[in-house]
């Protein structure tokens, strides 16, 4: 348990330290955030709404949002990845967890982006609270849920892995 | 009716409880507790500021829910300003409390008030650290006057030497961690630390199963066998070997081994054995929700051929029954 927590902290710090490097931010995170904005705009127009995308700015009639750190789900994804990498498990399961976890976090994050955009039109005074706190907690619970589901899919641990874990 | 709607799985029950309690705690915090907590945190940072940044900070004031840092760094304006107010966002630092409260309220177990109080006390220095890291980055941004992350420096330059690129980057990482990561992770870690039994028995049972098994495994636990003789009478004996039973049987289905739940139930009803006692103690520590899992693991470990955790017993085709909690 202790080893798991320390590995989690170490891997987490390493991942976050890498992601906040200016080069990584400019060449990986920024294009990724822009692509999320494009997907959000595409989803809104596909379901009959009106949306315009300019870089990382998503505009609907009456409100605009700029998608920045945290809103792109990178932090939540890295947290999940740190947990999955720290937990003793076969590498095949880990890789599936990393991939499906990323998709799970980003799927809910897309719901977050679109819902917040419309919330800005409907109840702008609620935007700040829902954006920073309610959705933040929900994304964290999403990370926890994905981790629990992944735990249940794991094969029974062998004695060697038990020994490594304890 | 409401009990029927609740999932039987304690993990899912906890998760659904969290989905309700976390937004509720966030609402209570936002409308009633945020301002007092912000004021207290601003006071603490303001008190520590002369020690941490003796030549940079004059004061820290709250105004309408917003903390303002009064910087002593003169600005390159005409005329130069001797004091510069810098907005200091502290909301995220105090948001760790409602998240922790929400997790804890959804977790079964005794001593709820003690756990809430202890976790809150542990989170106080974490919130303070987050506020300090955020403040430090704002100073760094002000001094260096280079846009960083998603923040722009103030329009005026501070008449002071900028930070080195490495120091600026590190303060940026500190700010990101304190604003984006710690508000989520800190309450979770404190909750994990304060609910060790719940975590071990439910969420991380795989990780710690070996130690649980080792702690609860009895010294000698032969299987309970029931031999049915030709007259149809049952003979129950703890030390009966399968061969012995076979000798007394007259048909193919004459020998049958008790299912694990049956043997466990017998032990429970007799109330004997160190294994039962230790499991019971562990159950009481883990709370009501943890009973099913720890009991099942104990039962598994005492059946020959099913020694390693996770193997299905009884084999496919036989029904597995839940061991009733004592």
Residue A22, token pair as written in the block = 């200016």
Residue B289 has pLDDT above 60, yes or no: no
Residues from chain B contacting residue A109 (CB–CB below 8 Å): none
CB contact under 8 A, B15 and A134: no
pLDDT in the model for residue A158 = 62
B172 or B273, higher pLDDT: B172
Across chain B, where does the E strand assignment appear? 57-63, 66-71, 84-88, 225-228, 234-237, 255-257
Residue A38, token pair as written in the block = 């494009």
- With a cut of 0.85, is the ipTM above it? no
Residue B257's pLDDT band (cuts 50, 70, 90): very low
CB contact under 8 A, A165 and B310: no
What confidence tens digit (pLDDT) does each residue in B51-94 have?
888 777 777 887 777 788 888 777 777 777 777 788 888 888 88
pLDDT in the model for residue B265 = 40
Residue B102 · residue B26 · CB < 8 Å: yes
Chain A nearest CA to B80, separation (Å) = 33
Residue B224 · residue B255 · CB < 8 Å: no
Q: Which residue of B has its CA nearest to A163?
A: B210
pLDDT in the model for residue B205 = 62
Mean pLDDT for the stretch of residues B146-150 = 74
Residue A79, token pair as written in the block = 């947290």
B220 or B8, higher pLDDT: B8
Residue B200 has pLDDT above 80, yes or no: no
Q: How many domains does chain A have?
A: 1
Residues from chain A contacting residue B207 (CB–CB below 8 Å): 1, 4, 87-88, 157, 165-166
pLDDT in the model for residue B272 = 36
Chain A nearest CA to B40, separation (Å) = 20
What confidence tens digit (pLDDT) does each residue in B22-62 have?
889 988 988 888 888 888 888 888 888 888 887 777 778 87
CA dihedral A32, B189, A143, A128 (to 10 degrees): -70
CA dihedral B46, B52, B55, B61 (to 10 degrees): -10
Residues from chain A contacting residue B200 (CB–CB below 8 Å): 1
CB contact under 8 A, B149 and A20: yes
Helical axes A74-86 vs B182-194, angle rounded to 10°: 30
Residues from chain A contacting residue B309 (CB–CB below 8 Å): 156-157
Enumerate residues 27 to 66 of chain A having a beta carbon within 8 A of any beta carbon in chain B.
Answer: none
B187: exposed, middle or buried (Cβ count in 10 Å: 0-12, 13-18, 19+): buried
**Which domain range does residue A124 map to?**
2-165
pLDDT in the model for residue A115 = 94
Q: Give the span between the Cα atoms of A139 and A92, in whole angstroms.
A: 25
Q: Give the span between the Cα atoms of B142 and B137, in whole angstroms.
A: 8
Residue B321, token pair as written in the block = 């029954």
B283 or B94, higher pLDDT: B94
pLDDT in the model for residue B208 = 54
Residue B306's pLDDT band (cuts 50, 70, 90): very low
Residue A161, token pair as written in the block = 């892995």
Residue B237 has pLDDT above 50, yes or no: no
pLDDT (tens digit, 0 to 9) for every residue of chain A, 166 residues total? 678 888 888 998 899 888 888 888 889 999 999 999 999 999 999 998 899 999 889 999 989 999 887 788 898 999 999 999 998 888 889 999 999 999 999 999 999 999 999 999 998 888 888 888 888 888 888 898 898 888 888 877 665 555 444 4
Enumerate residues 137 to 156 of chain A having a beta carbon within 8 A of any beta carbon in chain B.
Answer: 137, 140-141, 144-145, 148, 151, 154-156
The closest of B90, B62, B58 to B73, measured between CA atoms, is B58
Q: Give the span between the Cα atoms of A131 and A118, in whole angstroms.
A: 12
Residue B121 has pLDDT above 50, yes or no: yes
Residue B150 has pLDDT above 80, yes or no: no
Q: How much of chain B, in percent, has pLDDT values that exceed 70?
A: 59
- A122 interfacial to chain B (CB closer than 8 Å): no
pLDDT in the model for residue B122 = 93
Helices assigned H by DSSP within B145-286? 165-176, 182-194, 196-198, 205-216, 242-247, 260-270, 274-286
Strand-by-strand arrangement of the B255-257 sheet = B234-237, B225-228, B255-257
Task: Tally A–B CB contacts below 8 A.
Answer: 99
Q: Which residue of B has its CA nearest to A14?
A: B173
- A134 interfacial to chain B (CB closer than 8 Å): yes
Neighbours of A114 (CB within 10 A): 21
CB contact under 8 A, A165 and B173: no
End-to-end alpha carbon distance in chain A: 7
CB contact under 8 A, A156 and B311: yes
Residue B212's pLDDT band (cuts 50, 70, 90): very low
């Amino acid at each position: 348990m202790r080893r798991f927590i320390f590995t989690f902290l170490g891997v987490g710090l390493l991942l976050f330290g890498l992601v906040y490097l200016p080069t990584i931010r400019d060449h990986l995170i920024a294009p990724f955030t822009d692509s999320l904005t494009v997907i959000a705009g595409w989803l809104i127009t596909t379901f009959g709404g009106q949306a315009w995308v300019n870089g990382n700015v998503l505009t609907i009639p009456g409100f605009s949002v700029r998608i920045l750190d945290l809103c792109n789900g990178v932090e939540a994804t890295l947290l999940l990845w740190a947990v999955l990498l720290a937990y003793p498990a076969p590498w095949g399961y880990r890789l599936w967890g990393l991939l499906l976890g990323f998709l799970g976090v980003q799927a809910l994050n897309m719901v977050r982006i679109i819902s917040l955009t419309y919330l800005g039109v409907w109840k702008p005074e609620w935007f700040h609270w829902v954006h920073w706190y309610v959705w933040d907690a929900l994304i964290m619970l999403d990370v926890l849920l994905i981790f629990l589901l992944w735990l249940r899919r794991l094969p029974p641990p062998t004695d060697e892995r038990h020994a490594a874990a304890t | 009716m409401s009990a029927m709607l609740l999932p039987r799985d304690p993990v899912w029950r906890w998760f659904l409880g969290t989905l309700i309690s976390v937004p509720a705690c966030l609402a209570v915090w936002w409308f009633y507790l945020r301002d007092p907590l912000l004021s207290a945190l601003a006071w603490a940072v303001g008190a520590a500021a002369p020690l941490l940044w003796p030549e940079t900070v004059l004061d820290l004031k709250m105004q309408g829910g917003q903390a303002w840092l009064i910087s002593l760094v003169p600005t390159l304006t005409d005329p130069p300003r001797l004091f510069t107010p810098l907005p200091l966002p502290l909301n995220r630092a105090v948001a760790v409390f409602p998240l922790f409260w929400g997790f804890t309220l959804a977790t079964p177990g005794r001593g709820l008030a003690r756990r809430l109080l202890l976790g809150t006390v542990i989170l106080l220095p974490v919130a303070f650290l987050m506020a300090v890291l955020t403040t430090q980055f704002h100073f760094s941004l002000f001094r260096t006057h280079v846009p960083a992350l998603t923040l722009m420096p103030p329009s005026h330059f501070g008449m002071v030497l900028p930070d080195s690129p490495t120091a600026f980057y590190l303060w940026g990482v500190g700010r990101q961690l304190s604003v984006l990561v710690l508000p989520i992770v800190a309450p979770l870690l404190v909750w994990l630390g304060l609910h060790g039994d719940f975590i071990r028995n439910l969420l991380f049972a795989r990780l710690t199963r070996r130690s649980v098994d080792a702690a609860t495994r009895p010294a000698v636990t032969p299987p309970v066998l029931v031999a049915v003789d030709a007259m149809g009478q049952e003979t129950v004996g703890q030390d009966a070997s399968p061969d012995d039973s076979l000798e007394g049987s007259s048909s193919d289905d004459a020998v049958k081994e008790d299912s694990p739940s049956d043997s466990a139930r017998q032990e429970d009803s007799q109330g004997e054995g160190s294994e039962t006692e230790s499991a019971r103690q562990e159950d009481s520590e883990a709370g009501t929700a943890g009973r099913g899992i720890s009991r099942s693991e104990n039962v598994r470990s005492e059946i020959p051929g099913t020694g390693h955790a996770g193997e299905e017993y009884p084999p496919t085709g036989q029904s597995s029954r839940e061991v009733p909690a004592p």
